[in-house]
Each structure stands twice: as C-alpha cells, then as structure tokens.
Amino acid sequence: MIQIFIRLFIFCFILATLSYSQPTDYNYNQFIKYKQKYFTAILQGNKADEKTNLKKLIIFGDKANVPTKKYKKEMVKFDKSSQNIKKYNIIDQIQDIKVYSNNISINYKNTIIDTTIKKTNSKKGLYKIENYSIKGNLKDINNLFLKMDKKILDKIVVYGLNKNTIRISLRDKKAVNTTYKIKNKQIIITVQTRNKKQPILKKTKTIMLDAGHGGYDSGAVGYGGIREKDIVLSVTKKATKILRNRGYKVFNTRATDIFRQLKYRTKLANKMRADIFISIHANSIERGNEHVSGIETYYLSPARSERAKAVAATENRADIRAMDKSSIDIFLMARNRAKINESNKLALDVQNNMLFNLKKQYNNIKDHGVRKGPFWILVGAQMPAILVELGFVSNPIESKRLINQAYQQRLAIGIANGIDAYFDKITKF
Ligand SMILES: [Zn+2]
C-alpha cells in the first residue's frame, strides 16, 4: 500500500517538474545572471566586480539580442571616471577650519571626494590624545592655531601630515571622546562635553536588542572553546537591564539559549515598533591571525558612491523583478537614504561610547571603526539598525576579557551610553 503511494507521489513529482520547466536560452540566462551580479557589485560598492560583470552582461546581452546600449554607456563612464581620478590625482581643497563651541568644522571648497578618515588614540605626557587624519589640503595649515573652551578640551594641534592629508590632534588630561560627521563640503568633529548632565529621557523610546545566534547555532567558537552565543546573550541582558533602569522600553529577540531565525528577529522589532534595532555579535578570525582584536560596528548601506546610487535608482522595475528576493530588499534599502544616515549616526554613537567606556579601564582596546556592510539581519528592519561586534573570541586576551563579567558590564554601559547620545541628539533637534 505504502509502495503504491510512494510511486504515485514520485509520478506526481515528475509531472509537476516537467510542467514547470520552461525552454531556456543560454545567452539570455547568462545576461540575467551577470546583470544580477553587476547590481550586487554596485550595491556592495565593489568597483572591480562591477566592471567585470558589466562587461560580461554586455557580451551575453548582445548575443541574446537584448538592448545593451545603456550598459555600454555605463561602461564608457566607468572607463572615464577611473582614468580621470588617476590622471588628475584629485586632492580636496580645504577653505578653512573653524571652532565653534564644542565643534571643529573643516570646510572644503567643493564637495568632498575622498572621505577617508582615520581616527587613532595615543598618549603624550599628561595628555590623552585623539588623532584625526583627514584627506585634504590647506595652505598655511602649519600657521593655524585653534582653541576650544578649556572646560571642554585642553588643546588642539593642527598640521599637514603630507600633501593631501591633514592631522587634527585633540589633547586633554582626561580621556577625549569625539564623534564626527561628513557633510557635502564639511567635516564636523564634535567633542563630547565632560560632566554633562544625564538628559531626561522620553520614556517612549523602544529598543530591540538582538543577541546573535543561540541554540544549536553557537556563532563563533573561540579561544578556549568560548562561544559567541553565550557572550552576546550575557552582554545583551546587562544592556537591557541598564536601559530599562534609564526608562527605555526594551525588548529582546531571545532571553535564553534558543535559536531564532534572522527573519524572526527583525519582524519582531517591526511588530514591537522599536525605534532602533541593535544586533549584538562577537568576531572571530581564522587561525594564524589570533593577534587580531578590537571592536567594530556595522550599519547596512548598500551603495557606497553617488554614482552607484544613481545607477541603481535609474534602473527600471524589470531589473528589480530579475533580482532575487534578498537583492530586492537591498535595492529598496538603497533608496532609503534617511534610514541609512540614522543607522550611521547610531553606529557612531554606540561604537565611540563602547570604546570610551572600555578605555577608562583597559589597555590596548582596538578601534576598527564604523563600517558599512551588507548584513542580511539588518535588511528587514524598518528602523535604524546596527550590528555590533564586541570583540574577537579568537584573540587570547580579548576572549578572556569577553567572558569577564566586569568587562561585559563596561561594554553594556558603553552601548547604553551610545543609545543615550543618539536619542539625545534627536530630541534636541
Ligand atoms: Zn555573530
């Protein structure tokens, strides 16, 4: 009896498969394949892949008799822009640098092209120092003297590091904590003021804290067998407690060691109408690189350049249909500039406050900064969303710190302070 059923089942299956298979056209399918790869490369800001796949989609598009004129135009632009940047070796010209209250404003003559900013920390005598290396050129920079209210910062030193890089060095006897913003023609560095009063928070803000992994998914397994899922759950619980004490409404995607699907996590955040979504993780790196340590925070931002965004935005809807579900989500996200900006701000506040709080007590805390990344977990969230990497479980020193309760508490306070700083700015403006 069962055998007959099985045979019937197999028969139905074959029938279904046959009726669904359609005539295929190799060249057209290749064209679609490379078009998807091309879009993915644009959205991920991968220039090399973008060019390679653009070339291939044109070749197969021509073979399949698909109009490829617009792609050929893109190819021409592509060649021109890469030549021009090389040929002219563009250096952004700075108009002036000014200080107002606790901000330093670096004003450029034109829209900034190279927005590479390096931020490092050091010590010199009594001073704790935060150094900014910023791309740009300013005449007479070595004769420039900047001053800030001593209650905020002891000293600012500015000089030309080389022909196309300036260095702004912020020095204070207490730890210096700054954030920065890049605008069209302006970079603004803001020094966090000391002894600032804890703002009275609106108790209406809702936060979704997402402890990564769980259950059979251990996440990264590191030095001495420590598991990412345990560390991130512990830090999430601590941060939840701190934030609730400060008056926030806080939800968790998991409060115990259970597995949750990625989709469930953001869906829950959307359902609870969370104002922000923070996914908490720990890093690891392959054998041979155990020395790597440090903290980084990601936000989802598919398009890296204005050109990439323009290309994505001007494409027609048929291209969206040709993409798979994940690419569609990313593609749509690319249009939601406001949410990306908010996520970027939140990431900066959380990253800076984690570092600031850890450095008070611990040495050699590495800052890997705020980064853009195509994380699927962040795609579905309808609110500003970031992913925090607390440290490397693969590093012998950092892994010991990560399982230490006091260290976890400092991380949790850092995250909470970052959230405070973020909402503080929003409610002000
Ligand atoms: Zn993880």
- Quote the pLDDT of residue 68: 81
Task: Report whether 66 contacts 28 (CB < 8 A).
Answer: yes
- Quote the pLDDT of residue 313: 39
- Quote the pLDDT of residue 177: 86
Whether the pLDDT of residue 66 is over 50: the answer is yes
- Quote the pLDDT of residue 251: 97
- Quote the pLDDT of residue 414: 97
- Quote the pLDDT of residue 1: 47
pLDDT digits (tens, 9 = 90+) for 165-217: 999 999 998 888 888 888 888 899 999 875 544 444 455 899 999 999 999 98
Q: Ligand 1 centre from 219 Cα, in Å? A: 5
Percent of the chain with pLDDT over 90: 38
Q: Ligand 1 centre from 288 Cα, in Å? A: 20
- C-alpha closest to that of 208 among 240, 236, 250: 250
- C-alpha closest to that of 205 among 254, 163, 247: 247
- Exposure of 86 by Cβ count < 10 A (0-12 exposed, 13-18 middle, 19+ buried)? exposed
Whether the pLDDT of residue 413 is over 50: the answer is yes
pLDDT digits (tens, 9 = 90+) for 276-324: 999 999 988 888 889 999 999 988 765 443 433 433 333 322 233 334 4
- Quote the pLDDT of residue 54: 85
Percent of the chain with pLDDT over 70: 77
pLDDT digits (tens, 9 = 90+) for 340-390: 888 999 999 999 999 999 999 999 999 998 887 656 666 677 888 898 999
Q: Ligand 1 centre from 305 Cα, in Å? A: 27
Spatial strand order of the sheet with 155-162 comes to 117-124, 127-135, 165-172, 155-162
Q: Ligand 1 centre from 374 Cα, in Å? A: 14
Q: Ligand 1 centre from 255 Cα, in Å? A: 16
Q: Ligand 1 centre from 257 Cα, in Å? A: 14
The residue with greater pLDDT, 47 or 379, is 47
- Structure tokens given for 379: 């795609």
Please report which confidence band the pLDDT of residue 427 belongs to, taking 50, 70 and 90 as the band edges: low
- Quote the pLDDT of residue 192: 84
d(CA 231, CA 76): 50
- What are the residues whose beta carbon lies below 5 Å from ligand 1 (ion)? 212, 219, 281
Q: Ligand 1 centre from 249 Cα, in Å? A: 24
Task: Report whether 390 contacts 278 (CB < 8 A).
Answer: no
Q: Where is average pLDDT lowest: 13-22, 129-138, 356-365?
A: 13-22
Strands 367-372 and 295-299: parallel
Task: Report whether 268 contacts 206 (CB < 8 A).
Answer: no
- Quote the pLDDT of residue 8: 47
Q: Ligand 1 centre from 418 Cα, in Å? A: 20
Residues contacting residue 12 through CB under 8 Å, at least 6 positions apart: none
Task: Give the angle subtended at the CA of 266 by the CAs of 262 and 267, to the nearest 5°.
Answer: 105
Q: Ligand 1 centre from 212 Cα, in Å? A: 5
d(CA 378, CA 406): 29
d(CA 301, CA 312): 13
Task: Report whether 37 contacts 53 (CB < 8 A).
Answer: yes
- Exposure of 17 by Cβ count < 10 A (0-12 exposed, 13-18 middle, 19+ buried)? exposed
Q: Ligand 1 centre from 22 Cα, in Å? A: 40
Q: Ligand 1 centre from 260 Cα, in Å? A: 13
Q: Ligand 1 centre from 214 Cα, in Å? A: 10
- Quote the pLDDT of residue 305: 39
d(CA 135, CA 152): 26
Whether the pLDDT of residue 21 is over 80: the answer is no
Q: Ligand 1 centre from 301 Cα, in Å? A: 19
d(CA 122, CA 171): 9
Mean of the per-residue pLDDT values for the chain? 80
Mean pLDDT of all residues in 221-246: 94
